[in-house]
């Protein structure tokens, strides 16, 4: 990864010299990042470095897979004894976390492996947190409520999308809350991420689409996020600081990989090059949102997901064409740089390149057959409530480059519901 700051120039191909406004950078990463086909076989030796008793959080499908049997054998061969919790459910309902921790009362655990999609990795993070500090998940909701280091988490993703293997957040569905809720703390960044693209070959087309478009939205939202004044307190007061030079570099590199390979990975599930690109882009998306954060599409997906129980990735993907259009006037040069990463920029006029970028992102959404919000189950009568609830995700709303109020959220939702992709025709000032 080329961690140089990005230029504000739309002609720079995204990675270039430091420009004013993007000269602050923050990275919080796993200590070990291992990437490559077959590298899951290193799990045993890596885990042995964290102790002799490991818990694997996975789900019912993966719990009976030959991959889990192979990983368990590799752990045992390295002197690590294995406990498996294989009842993690998609979108991580709170009850599963409580059940897993309750079953471990008298079991020594030195480290926790999350083996699966984002739900299993987030499960591993929250279980490691509760085993380390006790209490209930709700004690830690929000930002920076985790008091100190947690048991080491080793993330082994089997989907390419959430980037949870690199992020400081876990997302839970708590029935007492109208929307999904996050626990965000630098202490939640996994100690190790083992990204083996071969584990994603079995993802069906709809899962490749839902998880892949989630990563695309991560890459876009972190790159177009607010730019905050780089005070001495910024990195300690906030988990997510907004746009910075490191998240920018990761985002543009990830978008280039996604533009090249996401549709191919969906259509050719065993295409090793495409699966590698998409898993790397997903990891880079995790790096980018890990400090850059997300914004409007994620804020609005939370109430949509709660109401429709549809995959997170489809929700944010369905909203992407409408959020990009809303944000375009405030982020012309950024969208132009995205256009360069996607290979659709001419370099002649920033506005034209920015519009081309948004159309190229639309083509990815459409090519993946991401459902519309109406197809996800949103009714027209729900739009005002979703707009209102989306505003409650204040951290995400504040991270959006254009101000979001009730009217703006309602406009985005209405355009998404109607499929109105009219491009803004004005070129207002940059925020
Ligand atoms: N922590 C973060 O940074 C972060 C970021 C984005 C999203 N999330 C969360 O991640 C969750 C979504 O994760 P996800 O999209 O990876 O899906 P998931 O983990 O919810 O899994 C969805 C389904 O895919 C199946 N699956 C997983 N790997 C497979 C494979 N290789 N082959 C076939 N089937 C497979 C699972 O068994 C499950 O049934 C949501 O709860 C979301 O809120 C977390």
Q: Is 313 in the pocket of ligand 1 (CB under 6 A)?
A: yes
Alpha helices in 103-204 (DSSP H): 118-133
Domains, the chain, ordered by start: 39-195 (3.40.50.1970), 205-418 (1.20.1090.10)
Give the residue whose CA is nearest to atom 35 of ligand 1: 203
- Between the CA of 155 and the centroid of ligand 1 the distance, in Å, is 12
> 407 by DSSP, 3-state: which?
helix
Which atom of ligand 1 lies closest to the CA of 168? Answer: 3
- Between the CA of 90 and the centroid of ligand 1 the distance, in Å, is 6
Give the residue whose CA is nearest to atom 7 of ligand 1: 162
Residues 166 and 164: their CA atoms lie apart, in Å, by 5
Which atom of ligand 1 lies closest to the CA of 172? Answer: 41
Q: Is 117 in the pocket of ligand 1 (CB under 6 A)?
A: yes
Q: Which of 59, 60, 119 to mutate to test the pocket of ligand 1 (most atoms within 8 A of CB)?
A: 119
For the question of whether the overall pTM of this predicted structure is more than 0.75, the answer is yes
Residue 12 has pLDDT above 70, yes or no: no
Which atom of ligand 1 lies closest to the CA of 119? Answer: 19
Residue 423 has pLDDT above 60, yes or no: yes
| Percent of the chain surpassing pLDDT 70 | 94
The DSSP bridge pattern shows strands 169-172 and 32-35 to be unpaired
Which carries the bigger pLDDT value, residue 248 or residue 427? 248
Residue 19 has pLDDT above 70, yes or no: no
pLDDT in tens, 142-154: 999 999 999 999 9
- Between the CA of 210 and the centroid of ligand 1 the distance, in Å, is 9
- Between the CA of 47 and the centroid of ligand 1 the distance, in Å, is 22
How many other CB atoms sit within 10 Å of the CB of residue 69? 11
> 60 by DSSP, 3-state: which?
helix
DSSP symbols for 202-270: T--HHHHHHHHHHHHHHHHHHHTS------TTHHHH-S---S-HHHHHHHHHHHHHHHHHHHHHHH-TT
Q: Is 116 in the pocket of ligand 1 (CB under 6 A)?
A: yes
């Amino acid at each position: 990864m080329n961690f140089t700051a990005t230029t504000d120039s739309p002609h720079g191909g995204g990675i270039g010299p430091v420009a004013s406004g993007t000269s602050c950078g923050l990275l919080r990463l796993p200590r070990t990042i291992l990437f490559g086909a077959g590298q899951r076989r290193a799990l045993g030796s890596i885990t042995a470095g964290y102790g002799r008793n490991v818990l694997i959080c996975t789900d019912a499908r993966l719990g009976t897979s030959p991959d889990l049997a192979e990983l368990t054998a590799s752990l045992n061969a390295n002197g690590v004894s294995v406990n498996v919790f294989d009842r993690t459910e998609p979108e991580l309902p709170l009850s599963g976390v409580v059940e897993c921790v309750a079953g471990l009362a008298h079991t020594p655990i030195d480290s926790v492996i999350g083996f699966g999609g984002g739900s299993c990795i987030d499960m591993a993070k929250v279980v490691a947190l509760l085993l380390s500090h006790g209490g209930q998940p709700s004690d830690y909701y929000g930002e920076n409520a985790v008091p100190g280091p947690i048991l080491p988490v080793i993330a082994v993703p089997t989907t390419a999308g959430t980037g949870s293997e690199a992020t400081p957040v876990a997302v839970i569905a708590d029935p007492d809350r109208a929307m999904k809720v996050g626990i965000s703390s630098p202490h939640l960044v996994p100690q190790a991420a083992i990204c083996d693209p071969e584990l994603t070959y079995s993802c069906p087309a709809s899962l490749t689409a839902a998880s892949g478009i989630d990563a695309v939205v991560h890459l876009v939202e972190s790159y177009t996020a607010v730019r905050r004044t780089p005070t001495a307190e910024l990195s300690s007061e906030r988990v997510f600081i907004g746009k910075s030079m490191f998240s920018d570099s990761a985002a543009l590199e990830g978008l280039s990989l996604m533009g090249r390979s996401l549709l191919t990975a969906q259509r050719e599930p065993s295409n090793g090059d495409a699966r590698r690109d998409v898993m790397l882009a997903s990891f880079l998306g995790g790096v980018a949102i890990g400090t850059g954060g997300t914004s409007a599409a994620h804020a609005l997906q939370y109430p949509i997901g709660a109401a429709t129980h549809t995959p997170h990735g489809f929700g944010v993907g369905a909203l992407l064409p409408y959020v990009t259009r809303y944000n375009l006037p405030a982020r012309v040069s950024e969208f132009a740089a995205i256009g360069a990463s996607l290979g659709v920029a001419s370099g002649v006029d920033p506005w034209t390149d920015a519009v081309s970028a948004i159309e190229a992102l639309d083509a990815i959404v459409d090519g993946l057959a991401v459902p519309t919000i109406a197809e996800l189950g949103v009714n027209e009568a729900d739009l005002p409530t979703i707009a209102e609830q989306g505003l409650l995700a204040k951290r995400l709303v504040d991270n959006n480059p254009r101000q979001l109020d009730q009217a703006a959220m309602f406009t985005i939702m209405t355009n998404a519901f109607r499929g109105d992709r009219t491009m803004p025709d004005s070129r207002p000032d940059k925020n």
